[in-house]
Amino acid sequence: MFNLLSAEFYKLRKGKALFVGLLIVAVLVVMLYVSLMMIDKINSGEVSNGTGGVIVFENGETVAGELGTESMMQKIGIAGVLQQIFSGHFVGLILAVIVSIFVVREFGTGAIKNLVGKGYSRSTIFLSKLLSTVVLSILFQVAAAMISILIGIPFLGSEGLSIINWTDIAIYTGLQILFGITAAGIFVLMGELTRNLAAAIAVSIGVLLFSTSATALLDLLCHQVGFEPTKYWFLDLMSSCPLTEFDTEFLVRSVLVSIVWFVVAAVLGVLHFQRADVK
């Protein structure tokens, strides 16, 4: 296992997908902050509505009036940007692609077949890939959160930073990283089941974007018996995770649900890898 993990971590260091993914995150974050800055400038009358493709719609009273003395930048802040990139699945979409590349490409090159031929147990091979993917997901998500915070500092200034609740941001980010680890486990499973890069990416993104619609439908079907599947699907918890005033029951359920689904993905992946042919 140690030798396999060392080899996996070496591939992570040499691979470019992680750095390209973080570059995309940085560009998205800058675009979010610039959009907020443009909204504030439009509300203050510094620039005309529609400048830079940013349009502010007013309903009754102006947005500035609704916000009072607090600007949109301060109202949304770093917490709102983090919510957009995590709960909005920006990070998840990029992670789905990175994990799929990391897992599937070795089936095409014959590397997995060589490992099996060298006598490594199939469960050890799969678990080493899964554990290295967990490390990859943690590094990517922590870096994405730090990028969002660091880029936001010059946009918010000292006044905007002074009103931030850093404890809430730490809890929210920690929960999202936990959900992201579980998502990475699901993406590894999809890569193992498909063993085709395009299919793995498509199925992983499909699970990420559309599985919550299925659980919402199940909520309607199970309404009479008082069961809500959305409470026990980690992607629903990821999307509905609050930014503040975290409920203890929600925190405990989030941790347990994430662990259970990660274990399910690991077990199914090991079972499939042990029985499927390696070409």
Q: Give 107-150 pLDDT, tens digit per residue.
A: 777 778 888 888 788 888 889 999 999 999 999 999 999 999 99
How large is the average pLDDT for residues 12-40? 88
Q: How far apart are CA 83 and CA 248, in angstroms?
A: 20
Burial of 73 (0-12, 13-18, 19+ CB in 10 A): buried
The answer to whether residue 120 sits within a structural domain is: yes
pTM comes to: 0.87
Is residue 242 assigned to a domain?
Answer: yes
Specify if 42 maps to a domain: no
User: pLDDT at position 52, please?
Assistant: 56
User: Would 155 be classed as within a structural domain?
Assistant: yes
Query: Any idea what the Cα angle at residue 41 is, between residues 39 and 45, rounded to 5°?
Result: 115
Quick one: pLDDT at residue 95?
A: 94
Look at residue 6 and tell me if it is in a domain: yes
Most confident of 68-77, 80-89, 153-162, 231-240: 231-240
Give the C-alpha separation, 123 to 203, whole Å.
23
For residue 182, is it within any domain? yes
Q: Is 110 left (phi over 0), alpha (psi -120 to 50) or beta?
A: left
Q: Report the pLDDT value the prediction gives residue 65, as an integer from 0 to 100.
A: 42
Cα gap 46→64, rounded to integer Å: 13
The total number of structural domains in the chain stands at: 1
pLDDT digits (tens, 9 = 90+) for 159-186: 777 778 889 999 999 999 999 999 999 9
Strand partners, 59: 61
Q: Which domain holds residue 233?
A: 2-15+79-275
Q: Between 10 and 252, whose confidence is greater?
A: 252
Q: By the 8 A CB rule, do 72 and 63 touch?
A: yes
Q: Check residue 216 and give its pLDDT.
A: 93
